[in-house]
Chains A and B, each alone.
Chain A
Amino acid sequence: MLLYQKILQFLRAPAVLLVLSVTSLLFANANANTSHTELKQKALHANLHQSDYWHALVHYYPTRLYPLRNSKGEFESHVDDARFFLAENGKYDPQAELLATIDALFDEQAPNLPDAVLCKFVARNKWLRKELSLPTLQVPDECVDYHTYRGNIGAGSMTLVFPASYLNSPSSMFGHTLLRFDPEDMTNNSPLLSWALNFAADVGDEAMSAGFAFKGISGGYPGKFSSVPYFEKLKEYGAIENRDIWEYKLDLTPEEIDRVLDHSFELQDMLFDYFFFRQNCSFRLLELIDVGRPGLNLADQFPYTAIPADTVKAVSNAGIIAEVNYRASQGTQLNHSISTIPRKNRHWIEKVQAKPSVTQAEAFKKLTPDVQARIIKTANELLTFRSRKSQQAQETAKRRLELLRLISQLDNDNDALDVPLPDSPAEGHDTTTVALTRGRTSSTNYTEAALRVSYHDVLDREKGHARGAGIELGTLRIRRIDDGSTRFEGFDLVHLQSFNGSFSQINGLSWEIIGGLNRNPFIEDDRLSARFDGSVGKSLRVGKNDIAYGLIGASANLFLGPGKTFANAHIRLGIIGYRQYGGSQIELRFDSIQRQSLLTSLSFTQNIPLAKNHALRLNIKTHRFNSESSEDYSLSYRYHF
C-alpha cells in the first residue's frame, strides 16, 4: 500500500501527468474514445436508462405519482444531494445520468480521479459492466474507503431488524427498521460485534424542539444512511426506549448482499428527502433489498405511505425471511419475570431491590430456592429498569453489584425467566380498515360506513401488536340515518391510545388523544365541530389479561361558522381485557360540559376477530344527561386490507 501511495504521489507530479496524458492521447485515445461512445450507443439501444434497475440505483420515481410537487421532469430522484449525480440534470433525467455515468466510468480520456467516481459508484459500475458485456470489475486497491467499508461490514448474511412500536412515544409508535450485516462465520463472531445500516432523519440538535414533529412529517429534514455498531442500537431500543426487537434474517445470496453493500456505499452520507410517512427508514431499506434482488419490487408496493410494520409484512410475503429472532426489551422481560413469581411472594421484589441483605432474613430463606432465585433476579431487573435513565447514584450501583453477586451464587435454571416468543409483527392484521356498522339510537336507526387509513386500535386483533397500544390515522365516517338523510359523521385525523399494562412495580402511565372533526349529540345539537380530546392517568395490569385505568382529561370543541367554543373536563375509569375471543373495554366516563350539567356515559365494546383480517365489533353506550337517558347500540363488521 505504501509503495502504491508513493507511486501515486509520483504520478501526481504535473510533469509526469503531462507526459502520461500525451502518451495516452497518442496510443490509447482512438480506441478508448470509440469504445466509450459505442458503449453509450449500446446502452441507449438497450434502453438501460429506462430499466427498473437503473431507476432503483439512482432512486428515480415517476413524478406523476406526486402531482402536488413541482417537478422538473417525468422522473425525479429521491436523493437530494448534488454529489450523487454525475450529470447536471441527473436528478431529473435518467438518460443524461446514465450517459454521464458511462462517460465518467469508461471514458479513459477523461480526467478520471479514482477516488471520485470509480471508487464511489461501484454498484453502478458493476451493473453497467454486466449489461454492456464488459469484464467484471475489480475495484482498484487505491479505493481505500470502499475496501475499508466492505472489509469492516460483514457480508455473510443480512438481517432486517424491527424495533417494534412502544408505548408512550407517539413518534415511535409505528416502529423503525434497520439492516444488520453479519460475517459468514458466526460461530467465531457475535451480532454484538456486527454493523448495522440505519436510515434516519438528520435532525441535528433540534430533536426536542416544537417544530420537530412537523418538519419530520412534512420533509423539512434531510435523511441519510449511517453505519452504526449493532450493540449500540440494541441498547438504544431495548434498554433506553424499551422496545422489543425483532430480527428477520433474510434469505439472500452472497452476490445479492454484495450488491446491497456496494450500493449502500454509494449512498453513504448522501442526503435524501425525508418524509415521516413514506420516504422513511423502512422505505429506504426496501429499496436496498430491491437493489439486492431485482424483481422483488418491494418499494413499489408503498407509493404513498410506508409503515415499518407493513414493510416487514411485505418482506415476509415476498418469502425471503429465513429466520426470526426476538429480543425482549427490559420492560417486557421485567413484566414477564414478575408474572412467574407467585402473587403472594411478589412483595419481596421491592424489598430485595431496596435492600439486598433482606435475602438473609429467616422469612426469605423459608421460600423455595427456585422462588428465591426468581425474586433476586427480578429485583435486579427492576433496579436496572428503574435506573436506566437516571444519572449515576453510588448507592444504587452498590445495590446492583450486591444483587449481581447474589445471582452469581445461585444454582438454578437460567432459562426459567425466558420470555416466551410472542407472535411476530409480520403476523398482525393488515393495516387499512373499512367498517360497516348498523346501529340504533334512542331516536332512530342508522347505517355507517367508515374507512381508517391506518393502523390499529387497542381492541383490534392483538396478534403481532403491542398490547394496549393504539395508533389510528385518518378515520372517516359517513352515516345514513333511516329517515333518509346522509351526513358526514366525523373525521379523526389522529387517535393515539397508550394503555400500559405493567405490574404495579413499573410505573404505568397511560394516555389517549384524539384530534379531528366530530359530532356530539350533547353539544350544540349534534353540529360538526373540530375536536381535540386528551386524557392522561395511571394504569395497571390486573390478573393475567386485563388493564385497569383511571384517566383525567379535557376536550375542546370549536364550531365551524357561528357557534361557541366548548371546553370540557372529564374523568374516565375502565378496564380493557384481552381474551381468547377478542379484546373488550368497559368504561365509565363523566364529562362536565361547560355551563351545563354532568354527562355520565357507560360503554361496553367487544371486538371479535373472525380471521386475521375480519372482525365483528359490538358497541353498547348509555348516556345520562339532564336526568334523561339515551342509548346507542351498534354492531360492526370490520375488514383489514
Chain B
Amino acid sequence: MRNILLATVLLGASSTTFAVAPGGPGCGWGNALMEGSSGLGAHLVASSVNGTYGNATIGMTFGTNGCSVDGAITYGGESLVWFDNVLEEYSTDVAVGEGETLNAVAVMVGIEQQDREHFGKIMHSNFSQLFPDTEVTSQEVMDSMIALMSLDSTLNKYVG
C-alpha cells in the first residue's frame, strides 16, 4: 500500500510539483527523473545503449555527482527512474507473462508474494492496454498499471 502511494506521489511529482529533484539538486538520479522519460519506442530499440540514463549511473555512486546521501536514493525514491530503465525488459516480461523484471516490478509496487502470479496474469492479459503504442512513457505505463490494479478485486488492496 505504502509503496504504490509513494509511486503515485512520485509520478505526480515528476511532472509537476517537486521543487527539488529526489536526491537533491544537481543529482544525476534526480535529473534523470525530472527530465522526463522518452517513450517506450526508445527503450525498445535502444534499451541498452550505454548512457540511456545518462548521469544516473554515476549519480548513484554514493557521495559523488551532487547526489545527497541522506536516504533520498532509496527504495521508493528510485522507483520511477528504475522503472524507466527496465521498461524494455518489463514490456517483454509482460508479453511473455513471467520473468524477473515482472517480479521485480511487482515487488516494487508492494505486491505480496502470494499475489504476484495474479499480478503477472493481469498485466499479461492487458498487454495492449499497458503498451498501446511506441510513444507510451514509463509514467503512463505506471498509471495504467495502477488503473488495472484498482479494477481487480485481488489487487485493489494495494492501491491507495
Contact = CB atoms under 8 A, between A and B. Distances in A.
Instruction: Name the 4 nearest CB pairs between A and B, nearest first.
Output: A397-B41, A239-B48, A190-B104, A408-B127
A269 B82 contact: no
B127 A405 contact: yes
Interface in B50-92: 50, 53, 57, 60-64, 69-71, 73-75, 78, 82, 85-86, 91-92
Nearest to B134: A397
B46 interface: yes
B131 A192 contact: no
Contacts of A396: 44-45
Contact of A148 (B48, B62, B75, B96): B62
B45 A397 contact: yes
A417 to B, nearest CB: 10
B152 interface: no
Contacts of B100: 190-192
A226 B131 CA distance: 35
Interface string A401-435: 10011011000001000000000000000000000
Nearest to B97: A414
A232 B113 CA distance: 25
Contacts of B128: 405, 408
A231 interface: yes
B47 interface: yes
A145 interface: yes
Interface in A545-603: none
Contacts of B64: 269
A152 B113 CA distance: 22
Given A388-B46, A391-B49, 19 more contacts: A148-B69, A148-B70, A151-B71, A187-B113, A188-B113, A190-B107, A192-B101, A193-B108, A229-B82, A240-B49, A380-B92, A384-B92, A387-B46, A397-B44, A397-B134, A398-B41, A400-B45, A405-B131, A414-B97
A387 B45 contact: yes
Interface in B13-70: 38, 40-42, 44-50, 53, 57, 60-64, 69-70
Interface of A: 144-145, 148-149, 151-152, 187-193, 226-229, 231-232, 235-236, 239-240, 268-269, 377, 380, 384, 387-394, 396-398, 400-401, 404-405, 407-408, 414
Nearest to A190: B104
Interface of B: 38, 40-42, 44-50, 53, 57, 60-64, 69-71, 73-75, 78, 82, 85-86, 91-92, 94-98, 100-101, 103-104, 107-108, 112-113, 124, 127-128, 131, 133-134
A236 B95 contact: no
Secondary structure at the A interface, as helix, strand, loop or mixed, is: helix
Given A235-B48, A239-B48, A405-B127, A414 B61 contact: no
B42 A397 contact: yes
Contacts of B133: 401
Which of A145, A397, A398 has the most chain B CB atoms closer than 10 A to its own CB?
A: A397
Nearest to A380: B92
Nearest to A194: B104
Contacts of B97: 408, 414
Contact of A414 (B42, B96, B103, B104): B96
Contact of A229 (B60, B70, B94, B112): B60
Nearest to A398: B134
Contacts of B127: 404-405, 408
Contact of B62 (A145, A232, A239): A145
A231 B85 contact: yes
Contacts of B48: 235-236, 239-240, 388-389
B81 to A, nearest CB: 9
Given A192-B101, A227-B60, A392 B46 contact: yes
A148 B133 CA distance: 40
B92 A404 contact: yes
B116 to A, nearest CB: 10
A401 B97 CA distance: 15
A388 B88 CA distance: 11
Contact of B107 (A149, A193, A228): A193
A388 B133 CA distance: 20
A149 B62 CA distance: 8
Given A188-B113, A240-B48, A144 B69 contact: yes
Contacts of A397: 40-42, 44-45, 134
A269 B58 CA distance: 12
Given A397-B134, A408-B95, A408-B127, A231 B82 contact: yes
